[in-house]
Chain A
């Protein structure tokens, strides 16, 4: 049955009305289709944009490559670098094995660069430093960094409460180690260890009264050097706290510090190199040196024979507290922050903490007891986990800066001659340019008012001799001009040049100063009149002046064997460098003076 209602007249349908109905229906269908199309456009576009958004991972804000942005670069102090690298290696291996949390993410990755703490501070103030996190040997560098950072900021008067805008996140400590005087057991016993309380004063007295006593502390660019210097200022001022600018610069304090510093054999990079040289030269190299307690454990674990022991200074010491913090950089991306958090979690976690303990550090994980069986602190009297009893008071940043600056005027003076190869082969690539930059950097780091620098340029023969001269403004400017004018040509008369440098120092150098020659060559000896035996004889004849020779082989073609022999003749070190690191090497060598 149909339910259609028909007209009672049963008339045929009007053709015009039928056309109108058809056009209306078509119009409605068209409108419907248009709406559907529009809807499809909207949601299709949104879906496409979402898909694109998901496909693009964290982009670095600085426009760097994606792989760069995933990597977290941490600047590490030289003494901790070997251990830190082990931890980083384990972290990276684990991150690679476990893979990222989300499939679109890349594995977390950390890379380290080695920098002295003072350089970390300096570079952290740059707008775009080469690292995003830093791990110096002590928190005192963070304090210095923050003070210098605040000085660059304008005061905001509208602040409700002027809490400083810091350059770094809250640091995390992963290990600590007190700074101690490290001595051979026989030397320590002679001083009264372990029955007498020993302090900085006993060491300093021993050094000033016994000319045969050889001791060393690093320069003030790392924590142990800074502490040793502070301890001298405290001892000189006759106090153990409240060091002020006035007491630090009092004439009697400076006189005391100068007397003690004159007994320092050399300064240098820190404990890693000292251990290397102890291994190479044995018991006669040094009697005592200032370093972290960890050095004692590491040495005694690895070596048989004479033991090292830790003397915890009775007046007090400082701690190398190994902080790690992230720089608050606007260019830091989410991936780097995630990597930092993961690395902090790893380095404060059980595996890393046990590794640090095994290597002689006191781990930050307080649940790890130092005297438990298997701990390197247990069953030894070379170190004592109950020590130190007290610390020296860390003065304010202003006083620390005064101590750092005054140290240049009290430190042992230096006479150093730079022996520079400007033979024809130095024309290759950027060798000459980099050498000049490196020499200028070296000169910049020599700041003592009693320090003298000379320069000998050699090729087929000795081309130029700039005698030792004080590094005053005038002397510095003159040497800078000489360095800028260096020009490569000729052969390589290496031995003649070193012999001439030795003659210069023997004739004009001060026997009380650190006398040194820094030699650099990129080739093979082929033009000298002197022989290595002549050189050996010359050094043997001037043994009372203790002239130290550092040799640098620049590039692959340098005569490594001869350079090694020259360094041994002069009781110094041989190092290799290329265009990328020669400047840093010269800077490093400058820390010995």
Chain B
């Protein structure tokens, strides 16, 4: 073989060695999970398929029971995405807690320009637990999470339009739940059940006897979830502000108004115990009954779901009364769009979202006191619908004479939380 041919063969051999070594380096990455060089930003490219996919959905507490059962039913159908088996895992978490974790980046979202391939073994292992989707109580929590990541990454992490946009999967609203015996006394004394009525009951120095109730009832006790643990607590205060100002949009100036703050403080003075109030406030209502609270503005779904327990444990039933200014929760199913999850995982999450919106699952939600997001499903679609079962307790299909409260902006929330910390929690 002449010299030219030796050189040619040498070049071919060197090229092959380079290619081989490159492949070896990539192939030997231990935490690849067999997916090889699969992910670019957005997770669009995959070379190797994973053996299976787990979709982790952080789920707000009021819909958790329904979504968990739906996930079990979905998993039982042996779903696949592009031939890859999918399973859905539900992580129950209050929306505020989840927002706090997104904000502190506890879940471990990657910094700008970093991809999963850049991580070491421990980093990749941690990313395996990253949530694929989030169902908070309300859309504004998604907006706050986006605001946090916009500062950090310069982009939204939950999309508000397009294929991956957040879609409501059910709705519910804050409504008054009061023990019937107490509600009757308040209606006799003040007329309708409203924040102003509750305020007047709260400041009665002589307690229930002064209002016309029994001495054994003590003073009027209001139930408001702890705003640090439960989104509904924060919204109850915003709803109170709405009624105080008689309008659905509340500004920071409204919250910092001294007269309003004095009124709110008197109202909150009727709460028996913020320290032990759990995130499951309506369940507390059932467990502790009228001993801890005569009534409060709570999520309709929670009240309906715990109505049976309340009737089982306490002699007095609870009735529902709809407020003038209504706070809606829309439980948006929001898919994370960063590189932390693959395209297959995102698509699997969307598949589960579609499953939740199916007629069958929307009907199942009625048994949990949730109003369907799917307009084809009426409130009396199934016999187990809590809207049918508890009609005699005041639940109504059409909300009467109500204005919807607008979602508060960040500054209003901060001002209310700060006020709560300084004047109530401390």
| Residue total for A at the interface (Cβ-Cβ under 8 A) | 68
A396 near B34 (CB under 8 angstroms)?
no
A378 contacts the other chain (CB 8 A): no
Complex alpha-carbon distance, A393 and B273, angstroms: 6
- Which residue of the partner chain A has the closest CB to B106? A165
B99 near A163 (CB under 8 angstroms)?
yes
Contacts of A139 in B (CB 8 A): 275-276, 278
Interface residues of A in 150-187 (CB under 8 A from B): 156, 158-166, 170-171, 173, 176, 178
A389 near B218 (CB under 8 angstroms)?
yes
Complex alpha-carbon distance, A391 and B92, angstroms: 30
B414 near A162 (CB under 8 angstroms)?
yes
B291 near A388 (CB under 8 angstroms)?
yes
Q: Mark B396-426, 1 if CB is under 8 A from A, else 0.
A: 0000000000000010011001000000111
A41 near B287 (CB under 8 angstroms)?
no
A35 near B287 (CB under 8 angstroms)?
no
| B100, chain A: closest CB distance, angstroms | 3
Tell me whether A161 and B94 are in contact in the complex, defined as CB-CB below 8 angstroms, given that A31-B13, A140-B276, A170-B278 are known contacts. no
Contacts of A390 in B (CB 8 A): 216-219, 221, 290-291
Stretch at the interface among A253-261, A366-374, A484-492, A495-503: A366-374
Complex alpha-carbon distance, A315 and B215, angstroms: 10
Interface residues of B in 24-65 (CB under 8 A from A): 24, 27-28, 30, 32, 34
Interface residues of A in 372-391 (CB under 8 A from B): 385-391
A34 contacts the other chain (CB 8 A): yes
Stretch at the interface among B311-319, B322-330, B349-357: B311-319
Complex alpha-carbon distance, A321 and B23, angstroms: 59
Q: A161 is contacted by which of B16, B103, B292, B426 (Cβ under 8 Å)? A: B103
Q: B144 is contacted by which of A39, A156, A161, A396 (Cβ under 8 Å)? A: A161
B287 near A173 (CB under 8 angstroms)?
yes
Contacts of B334 in A (CB 8 A): none
A138 near B312 (CB under 8 angstroms)?
no
| Residue total for B at the interface (Cβ-Cβ under 8 A) | 67
Interface residues of A in 229-275 (CB under 8 A from B): 240-242
A160 near B94 (CB under 8 angstroms)?
no
Contacts of B1 in A (CB 8 A): 20, 23-24
B276 near A143 (CB under 8 angstroms)?
yes
- Which residue of the partner chain A has the closest CB to B288? A319
Tell me whether A176 and B218 are in contact in the complex, defined as CB-CB below 8 angstroms, given that A161-B99, A386-B314, A397-B426 are known contacts. no
Q: B20 is contacted by which of A35, A362, A385 (Cβ under 8 Å)? A: A35
Q: Mark B223-257, 1 if CB is under 8 A from A, else 0.
A: 00000110000000000000000000000000000
B75 contacts the other chain (CB 8 A): no
Contacts of B417 in A (CB 8 A): 161-162
- Which residue of the partner chain B has the closest CB to A159? B103
Contacts of B306 in A (CB 8 A): 366
B426 near A315 (CB under 8 angstroms)?
no
B259 contacts the other chain (CB 8 A): no
A46 contacts the other chain (CB 8 A): yes
Contacts of B283 in A (CB 8 A): 366
- Which residue of the partner chain B has the closest CB to A171? B278
Interface residues of B in 252-282 (CB under 8 A from A): 269, 271-276, 278-279
A394 near B275 (CB under 8 angstroms)?
yes
A50 contacts the other chain (CB 8 A): yes
A45 contacts the other chain (CB 8 A): yes
B309 contacts the other chain (CB 8 A): yes
A156 near B315 (CB under 8 angstroms)?
no
B373 contacts the other chain (CB 8 A): no
B341 contacts the other chain (CB 8 A): no
B221 near A366 (CB under 8 angstroms)?
no
Complex alpha-carbon distance, A397 and B226, angstroms: 14
Contacts of B97 in A (CB 8 A): 163, 166, 170
Tell me whether A389 and B290 are in contact in the complex, defined as CB-CB below 8 angstroms, given that A45-B28, A163-B228, A394-B275 are known contacts. yes
Tell me whether A53 and B30 are in contact in the complex, defined as CB-CB below 8 angstroms, given that A42-B23, A164-B228 are known contacts. yes
A366 near B287 (CB under 8 angstroms)?
yes
- Which residue of the partner chain A has the closest CB to B12? A31
A321 near B13 (CB under 8 angstroms)?
no
Complex alpha-carbon distance, A502 and B273, angstroms: 46
Contacts of A129 in B (CB 8 A): none
Q: Mark B141-182, 1 if CB is under 8 A from A, else 0.
A: 000110110010000000000000000000000000000000
Contacts of A366 in B (CB 8 A): 283, 286-287, 306, 308-310, 312-313
Contacts of B229 in A (CB 8 A): 170
Q: B410 is contacted by which of A53, A160, A321, A368 (Cβ under 8 Å)? A: A160
| A333, chain B: closest CB distance, angstroms | 12
Complex alpha-carbon distance, A583 and B135, angstroms: 49
A143 near B275 (CB under 8 angstroms)?
yes
A241 near B291 (CB under 8 angstroms)?
no
Tell me whether A27 and B30 are in contact in the complex, defined as CB-CB below 8 angstroms, given that A42-B23, A393-B272 are known contacts. no
A362 near B287 (CB under 8 angstroms)?
yes
A178, A390, A396: residue with the most chain B Cβ atoms closer than 10 Å: A390
| B201, chain A: closest CB distance, angstroms | 13
A369 near B426 (CB under 8 angstroms)?
no
Tell me whether A38 and B221 are in contact in the complex, defined as CB-CB below 8 angstroms, given that A46-B28, A160-B148, A369-B313 are known contacts. no
- Which residue of the partner chain A has the closest CB to B100? A163
| A40, chain B: closest CB distance, angstroms | 11
Contacts of B291 in A (CB 8 A): 178, 316-317, 319, 387-391
- Which residue of the partner chain A has the closest CB to B122? A61
- Which residue of the partner chain A has the closest CB to B152? A158
A50 near B313 (CB under 8 angstroms)?
no
A367 near B103 (CB under 8 angstroms)?
no
Contacts of A577 in B (CB 8 A): none
| B128, chain A: closest CB distance, angstroms | 10
Complex alpha-carbon distance, A316 and B97, angstroms: 32
Contacts of A388 in B (CB 8 A): 291
A46 near B272 (CB under 8 angstroms)?
no
Tell me whether A34 and B16 are in contact in the complex, defined as CB-CB below 8 angstroms, given that A367-B309, A393-B273 are known contacts. yes
A552 contacts the other chain (CB 8 A): no
Q: B413 is contacted by which of A138, A158, A161 (Cβ under 8 Å)? A: A161
B217 near A389 (CB under 8 angstroms)?
yes
A43 contacts the other chain (CB 8 A): yes
Contacts of A317 in B (CB 8 A): 291
B104 contacts the other chain (CB 8 A): yes
Complex alpha-carbon distance, A39 and B23, angstroms: 9
Complex alpha-carbon distance, A396 and B315, angstroms: 31
A163 near B278 (CB under 8 angstroms)?
no
B287 near A316 (CB under 8 angstroms)?
no
B24 near A396 (CB under 8 angstroms)?
no
A240 near B218 (CB under 8 angstroms)?
yes
Complex alpha-carbon distance, A392 and B151, angstroms: 46
A386 near B216 (CB under 8 angstroms)?
no
Complex alpha-carbon distance, A314 and B217, angstroms: 9
Contacts of A367 in B (CB 8 A): 308-309, 312
A197 contacts the other chain (CB 8 A): yes
Complex alpha-carbon distance, A42 and B19, angstroms: 12
A472 contacts the other chain (CB 8 A): no
A130 contacts the other chain (CB 8 A): no
Complex alpha-carbon distance, A161 and B279, angstroms: 18
Complex alpha-carbon distance, A173 and B286, angstroms: 12
B9 contacts the other chain (CB 8 A): yes
A398 contacts the other chain (CB 8 A): yes
With contacts A366-B310, A389-B216 known, what are 7 further pairs, Cβ within 8 A? A35-B16, A160-B151, A165-B100, A197-B215, A197-B216, A386-B315, A391-B272
Contact sample, A vs B, 20 pairs, CB 8 Å cutoff? A31-B13, A41-B24, A42-B20, A42-B24, A46-B27, A49-B28, A49-B30, A50-B34, A53-B30, A142-B275, A142-B276, A159-B148, A160-B148, A170-B229, A176-B287, A176-B288, A321-B287, A389-B290, A392-B272, A394-B274
A-B pairs, top 8 by smallest CB distance, nearest first, are A366-B309, A390-B218, A163-B100, A139-B276, A143-B275, A394-B273, A38-B20, A160-B148
Binding site for B on A (CB under 8 A): 20, 23-24, 27, 31, 34-35, 38-39, 41-43, 45-46, 49-50, 53, 138-140, 142-143, 156, 158-166, 170-171, 173, 176, 178, 197, 240-242, 314-317, 319, 321, 323, 362, 364, 366-370, 385-394, 396-398
